[in-house]
Structure 1
Amino acid sequence: MELTAGISRVDRVFPANRAWADFRDVILLQPGWLDSLGLAKSLAGEGWKAHISMDTREAIKCLRSSNIYVGIVLLDASFSEETQSELLEVINESASTEWIAIVDPGSMTSIEHASFLSAFFFDFHTTPVDIRRLAYSLGHAYGAAKLGEASRGELRLAINQRFGLIGSSKAMSLVYDDIEKISRSDEPVIVAGETGTGKELIARAIHGLSHRAEKPFIAVNCGAIPETLVQSEFFGHNKGAFTGAVEERIGHFEAATGGTVFLDGIENLPPLGQVSLLRFLQEKELTPLGSKESRPIDVRIIASASPRLRDAVATGLIREDLFYRLNVLQIDVPPLRNRGTDAAEIAEYFVDRFNRGKRRNAKRLSKKAIATLLDYPWPGNVRELMSCVNRAAVLSISRLITEMDLGLLRPARLNGKTLREIKAKAIEQAVILALAESKSITSAARRLGVSRVTLYRLMEKHSITVPGVEHVAG
């Protein structure tokens, strides 16, 4: 196994008139050779401090516990496919890290070496190493890594600033186009989609892009209004209109004059409310409860509904005439599982939001965690994803959020597998998850409902080892 080392920026002695905040710490990784201590000492003279770890596992641990911006890798003449696989495992841990290779001059005749360097490294140096040139390359690599990290953050911010929504998939691009077109109109809109897909955000985006943007946006939960109070909630009431009406009160529609009323879950609106809403859409005026006078009100109506909108009409949950009045324009919001890599973009946004104000111990997602996020079907959509990522960020013990921290099991796919193979994989995943969520073998076995002996056999059968669990088993 090749030697691995981490290198971090050394704190220098700066003039008193320089602010300490002007300087940054940097951590690097370096699979090395016998003179790694000599290299570390030479680099220290150029402002870099080396923390040496003896194998790729320690290097990955270093990546997961620190913000890594630059890596140094030694590729000697015995470079092999196995070595490449081990190094790629380290390189793939962090998208923010730029890597520099130190190679034997004779190995540069190898096409395999050249291809590997071209694909995965920022720069390379041949032995014997010119420390000043290496330090110069480290500075450039560090700058490139920071620039790449900033551009990725700005891209996520730009996406988030577009209508307050996140996602660059083709499915969401169509939604963005619909938002822009619909915002120019004053016609009623139905936003249809599963729970947690962001229907209210889309309604707010339509309002925000329209000429009504400076006027109120009022969201009303249709399922939370008792039928006896619908008219009062929508249109207001006069004093004495009913028992408890001790003063005059305006309703949601009048409060939103000139703006937008968002009716969330229109299929949950009681029948009397649907009749009242239909009348308002036809007449464009309202009559407060207890009053005999009607007055015109200018508001735009946006309603949200489940994807089975027409089924709701067919079963009578929504009046057919109300449906046709509301459904002048419609936006169909895709579920998260149909949005390509949007789940990763959204997850990184939530991690960035979690990190705001944290100068130290900022979290980030590992590549395996991102792969797990993209493989999960998200029945609760963005709302479930937000809860999952926030929980993982809080509970993760290192600065790198792993797939285990997410607490998700990838959905099984047949892919030609037999039932026995699928069952074995499910057992393996259950054991891994139980071990990750437990402090000892005993508690993991109890969680699974098996004996410790059975759990040890399952671990041996599936070649499962979990550092940090065995030594506390009891």
Structure 2
Amino acid sequence: MRSANSEPAARVLIVDDDRNQADLLARMLALEGFETLAVYAPSEALTAMRDGPFSVVISDFNMPEMNGIELFRRIEAAQLGAVFIVITAFGTLETAVEAMKEGVQDFVTKPVDVSELTIKIRKALRLHDLEAENRDLKGAVEALRAKVRLIGDSEQMRLILQQVHQVSQSPATVLIRGESGTGKELIARAIHLESPRHAGPYVAVNCAAIPESLIEAELFGHVKGAFTGAVGDRTGRFATADGGTLLLDEIGDLPLPLQPKLLRVLQEREVEPVGASEPVPVDVRLIAATHRDLGQMVADGEFREDLFYRLSVIPLEVPALRDRSDDVLPLAHHFLRLFCEENVRRISGFTREAEERLRTYSWPGNVRELENCVERAVVLCPGDVIDEPDLMLQATRRSEDRSSNAILDVLFDTALTLDHLERDIIVAALRRCGGNLSRTARTLGLTRRALQYRVEKIRREEESGDTGGGVVE
């Protein structure tokens, strides 16, 4: 007998024009734990299959209406998706071979041995489930690869897809680097789905979104009483991803004190929950992603060098959208079709001016910004074609180029050197930020350590009299 918590019994349909044989077989298989129904003609079997799903069909071969192979063909043509086992008379091996060539999963001979038939049913069901899982997986992989292709179909992105396929077969750690909005998380998920770990969990963690005080417990878990508020044991993300893949997104934001602990996990393949006395083994394939330059962070002392090399066994660089401008218009037209369907709009396309703006804009937010731009235009566009003002883009690459050229003109037309220009920019930024080094570093796109180094250099120059003096206070 099956327990209440076990899986539902497989439904088995028995088809035989010999009523006594069909009923007897139905009762015997019911005793083996299957849910059974006996019918006495192929037409009744087809009706029963349409009325309710059956996992298995067991059919006699010789029947007046049609033989078992013809019944199998009709069930296959109707895509009713059941395991099919045919019953043949003793000594008719040719019939069994013919049935197997047609695609029938298995056969038994008369008189039927119920124990043998039960084993064959369960074996065929396991194989059928595995084939269905593989079909689902292939569908998921293709769907995800299609999404990754939507990030772009340029030569650069085709190369990325090729690399995804190659690295997915390896257990090595992958470091995906690219600006925000380039599709790093999609690529990480594609690696997981194409890997031998595809049946395991895929867990994504954004290191930048978790407070520094909580991230250790979030990643490694904790035991009851480990700290105030730890009212029970908690499984960390590494343990949750056991047997699968863990993505650590924005790894560059991982606090420096926690980095040695992550390094130990990668080396020892075990985690130590907060407050625990014993480590817990984990089997996880790690993928890290970041928009930051980890090599520069290592040079600035903000990221451990040994961890950097451990993470970047296989580096993948996702190019920014501005570096693959051939992708912009195809992506824009794809998003146009998508959002027209979602918003029930009939918009035929973009004007020439709109396409020119799309091509020349620098897309600092990459594919995500382009997607948002097109969605906004579809919603707000008053007509049936999107014009340049409908895009609501404030700057173009050309205008940015003109700004850069204006700075170059200042350098060439005056005696101002690059060192002096850097010094003046830093001093002006410090004044605007009220002398706050952290805010100034963010404004200038520098690390705090890099800014400190430059400020100290300016101070030394002032003290030696190489500058105008008294500017940095």
Could you state the TM-score of these two structures normalised by the residue count of structure 2? Answer: 0.52
Distance 1:240 1:280 in 2: 23
Q: How far did 1:359 drift?
A: 5.7
Letter in 2 for 1:353: L
In structure 2, the partner of 1:366 is 351
1:412 equivalent in alignment to 2:398: yes
Distance 1:199 1:188 in 2: 15
Indicate if the aligned counterparts of 1:267 and 1:305 stay in contact, CA closer than 8 A: yes
Structure 1 residues 330 and 165 mapped into 2: Cα distance closer, same or farther (>3 Å)?
farther
Distance 1:348 1:354 in 2: 10
Q: Secondary structure at the match of 2:175?
A: strand
Distance 2:356 2:272 in 1: 55
The 5 A counterparts of 1:367-406 are 367-406=352-391
Q: How far did 1:360 drift?
A: 5.5
Structure 1 residues 242 and 207 mapped into 2: Cα distance closer, same or farther (>3 Å)?
same
Distance 2:150 2:297 in 1: 28
Distance 2:291 2:339 in 1: 30
Structure 1 residues 243 and 393 mapped into 2: Cα distance closer, same or farther (>3 Å)?
same
Structure 1 residues 410 and 162 mapped into 2: Cα distance closer, same or farther (>3 Å)?
closer
Greater mean deviation of Cα atoms: 273-282 or 400-409: 400-409
The aligned length equals 262
Letter in 1 for 2:299: A
1:181 equivalent in alignment to 2:166: yes
The 5 A counterparts of 1:39-78 are none
Distance 1:224 1:159 in 2: 25
Q: Percent identity?
A: 47
Distance 1:323 1:392 in 2: 42
In structure 2, the partner of 1:320 is 305
1:202 equivalent in alignment to 2:226: no
Indicate if the aligned counterparts of 2:347 and 2:384 stay in contact, CA closer than 8 A: yes
**Paired residue for 2:289, among 304, 329, 334?**
304
Letter in 2 for 1:411: R
Q: Secondary structure at the match of 1:180?
A: helix
The 5 A counterparts of 1:23-422 are 161=146, 163=148, 165-306=150-291, 308-356=293-341, 361-362=346-347, 364-408=349-393, 409-412=395-398
Structure 1 residues 187 and 324 mapped into 2: Cα distance closer, same or farther (>3 Å)?
same
Letter in 1 for 2:223: N
Distance 2:235 2:391 in 1: 46
Distance 2:344 2:185 in 1: 33
Q: How far did 1:317 drift?
A: 2.0
Deviations 1:316-347 (A, max 9, x none): 22100100111100001101011132111222
Q: Which has the higher helix share?
A: 2
Q: How far did 1:367 drift?
A: 3.8
Please provide the CA RMSD for this pair: 2.5
Indicate if the aligned counterparts of 2:148 and 2:183 stay in contact, CA closer than 8 A: no
Q: How far did 1:240 drift?
A: 1.0
Structure 1 residues 199 and 361 mapped into 2: Cα distance closer, same or farther (>3 Å)?
same
Q: How far did 1:293 drift?
A: 1.8
Distance 1:165 1:201 in 2: 10
Letter in 1 for 2:146: Q
Letter in 2 for 1:195: S
Q: Secondary structure at the match of 2:162?
A: helix
Distance 2:396 2:226 in 1: 57
Structure 1 residues 164 and 242 mapped into 2: Cα distance closer, same or farther (>3 Å)?
farther
Letter in 1 for 2:259: Q
Distance 2:315 2:258 in 1: 21
Indicate if the aligned counterparts of 2:144 and 2:190 stay in contact, CA closer than 8 A: no
Distance 1:321 1:159 in 2: 33
Q: Secondary structure at the match of 1:168?
A: coil
Distance 2:307 2:190 in 1: 24
Distance 2:353 2:147 in 1: 28
Letter in 2 for 1:179: V
Distance 1:362 1:165 in 2: 20
Q: Secondary structure at the match of 1:267?
A: helix
In structure 2, the partner of 1:87 is none
Q: Secondary structure at the match of 2:332?
A: helix
Q: How far did 1:366 drift?
A: 3.1
Structure 1 gap ranges (5+): 1-156, 420-474
Could you state the TM-score of these two structures normalised by the residue count of structure 1? Answer: 0.52
Indicate if the aligned counterparts of 1:164 and 1:201 stay in contact, CA closer than 8 A: no
Structure 1 residues 274 and 165 mapped into 2: Cα distance closer, same or farther (>3 Å)?
farther
Distance 1:167 1:285 in 2: 38
Structure 1 residues 290 and 329 mapped into 2: Cα distance closer, same or farther (>3 Å)?
same
Indicate if the aligned counterparts of 1:217 and 1:256 stay in contact, CA closer than 8 A: yes
Give the structure, 1 or 2, with the largest relative contact order (CA under 8 Å, sep 6 or more): 1
Indicate if the aligned counterparts of 1:222 and 1:268 stay in contact, CA closer than 8 A: yes
Distance 1:360 1:312 in 2: 47
Indicate if the aligned counterparts of 2:207 and 2:248 stay in contact, CA closer than 8 A: yes
